[in-house]
Copies of this chain bind each other. A is one copy, B any other.
Amino acid sequence: MKMLTILCCVAIIPTVLCAPYTYTTKYIDVPIDHFNFANNATFKLRYLVNDTYYVKDGPIFFYTGNEGQIETFAQNTGFINDIAPKFNALIVFAEHRYYGESLPFGNQSYTNLKNLGYLSSSQALADFVYLITELKQQYKSQELSSVPVIAFGGSYGGMLSAWIRIKYPAMVEGAIASSAPIWQFTDLTPCKLFYRIVTNVYETFGTEKCADTIKKSWALLRAQGKSDAGKAWLTEEFKLCSPLKTDANISALADWISGIYVNLAMVNYPYPTGFLAQLPAYPVREVCDNINSINITSDRDHLKAISMGLSVYTNFTKSKKCNSLGGTSANLGEKGWGFQSCTEMVMPMCSTDDDMFENLKWDFKQYQEDCTKSYFGVKPLNPYLPIMEYGGKDLEAASNIVFSNGLMDPWSSGGVLSNVSSKIFSVILPDGAHHYDLRSANPDDTDTVKDVRNFHVKAIKSWLKNFYKAHTLANVNDFSKF
């Protein structure tokens, strides 16, 4: 057990109010394989606990960790800390297996398929159930027959928070699922929607001209990439660490650029943040300002404009010497997510003439083939797996979930955008980016995000009220505030 202090914001952005969140790092032994009685091996799942605001018989606010080290999410989900005091809540951030320190086979976790095969949402949920069971045991009291737990999550973590309520409703009273694209699966949403929304963000926060410049850049990039001189120029212009040598390198550059546009749209928050990279307020606006600032008189000018735009993401802190085309964020476990995408998390996407990206069809066979090359020959066998497991659009039997989505978040393409029933709510942030509502309160917050956060608080109150009504054994505590 070691102490770890996480800051809600980073030191380089002094204008934002900084509150240090103090967490205790803990570990729990959980089965590597929850579904095979021939295998009793366990591993240590990491979780962070903050009991600063906890008062006996208060709820547990449980963050269902994403595809990355858990600190990143503890750092960027200040909303939980903001509201914990009024609920007397214990805060727990649980790390997802195969990310951060929670490696079932240590540094051998990614070395072969045998070790990697247990990376799945089902196994991860079962880990969380083990941890919640342990926490309930630890925090139960004479006065309450159980301990209420509220699940929180953003993005994939939001999917997990919704899914843990759907699959294990006795474990959590309700879930706040922010920007959770639980419908970004085969046949549930048009494949072109995702990139269309990214384009909206550039048209809205930037300009139509900016999006147009981007759309036209792909052909120019490919043209430059055809010659050795062009490759050398692109290597220089985009400050790449390794020189571009092949056509595949050019495609990798195009993918990397696309990925950055997407990331920028996701984190287009109204104030500076350091979630996926160190970025200014409304970074998409800055990108487009940069792009539009160039007086384009040649193809290379056009690509220079693009590179100027991207520098907002790649070199905001001016400290980076060169760009590597590997991952677009050091905070996410892209290798693990790649494997998940090549097994169960098949999320069909395509780009068309209607968006600012290079045209790309959704081709499941091709997708399978690409996967085969990446993860020891594994490929997705059944793209409907998550629908079979979690119910797809049929949420009629589910309850106590708030789905929140920013319409300026690309992932809202797979989000639940209207109320499903009187027990499954959808709240919308028309201008919101990716799980914006889960961030801590900020002087530059929009009114909408404040409303959405109030909605969350009300929902949690009503779930807890029901819980305390049903589970309070003695009237020694005053739960009437719920």
Interface, chain A (partner B; CB < 8 A): 33-40, 113-120, 122-123, 129-130, 133, 146, 165, 167-171, 339, 343-344, 378, 381, 384, 388-389, 391-392, 394-400, 470
Contact = CB atoms under 8 A, between A and B. Distances in A.
A464 to B, nearest CB: 14
12 contacts: A33-B35, A33-B36, A36-B118, A37-B120, A38-B116, A40-B381, A129-B389, A130-B388, A133-B388, A165-B397, A170-B392, A170-B397
A167 B163 CA distance: 11
A113 B40 CA distance: 12
A129 B389 CA distance: 8
Nearest to A116: B38
A170 B470 CA distance: 27
B33 A133 contact: no
A356 B245 CA distance: 85
Given A133-B384, A169-B396, A398-B169, A37 B378 contact: yes
A165 B394 CA distance: 13
A391 B136 CA distance: 14
Contacts of A396: 169-170, 470
B343 A170 contact: no
A406 to B, nearest CB: 27
Nearest to A137: B384
A167 B146 CA distance: 21
A394 B170 contact: yes
A47 to B, nearest CB: 17
B169 A37 contact: no
Contacts of A146: 394
A119 B122 CA distance: 17
A118 to B, nearest CB: 6
A36 B170 contact: no
A116 B389 CA distance: 24
Given A38-B113, A40-B381, A120-B35, A397 B394 contact: no
Given A133-B384, A391-B168, A38 B114 contact: yes
A37 B391 contact: no
Contacts of A165: 397
Contact of A37 (B38, B117, B167, B384): B117
A114 B118 CA distance: 16
Task: Kindly name the residue among A113, A114, A118, A397 whose own CB sees the greatest number of chain B CB atoms within 10 A.
Answer: A397
Contacts of A384: 133
B117 A36 contact: yes
A400 B396 CA distance: 11
A39 B378 CA distance: 10
Given A168-B391, A384-B133, A392-B170, A36 B37 contact: no
Contacts of A391: 168-171
Nearest to A132: B388
B343 A37 contact: yes
Contacts of A117: 36-39
Contacts of A344: 37
Contacts of A170: 391-392, 394-397
A190 to B, nearest CB: 17
Contacts of A389: 129, 168
Contacts of A113: 37-38
Nearest to A380: B37
A377 to B, nearest CB: 10
Contacts of A130: 388
A105 to B, nearest CB: 12
A165 B397 CA distance: 9
A36 B118 CA distance: 5
Contacts of A378: 37-38
Contacts of A400: 397
Nearest to A466: B396
A171 B133 CA distance: 27
A354 to B, nearest CB: 27
A42 to B, nearest CB: 10
A171 B389 CA distance: 9
Contacts of A171: 388, 391
A37 B388 contact: no
A72 to B, nearest CB: 25
A30 B135 CA distance: 36
A43 to B, nearest CB: 15
Given A168-B388, A169-B391, A171-B391, 16 more contacts: A34-B122, A35-B36, A35-B120, A35-B123, A37-B116, A37-B119, A37-B343, A37-B378, A38-B113, A38-B115, A38-B118, A40-B381, A129-B388, A170-B392, A170-B394, A397-B400
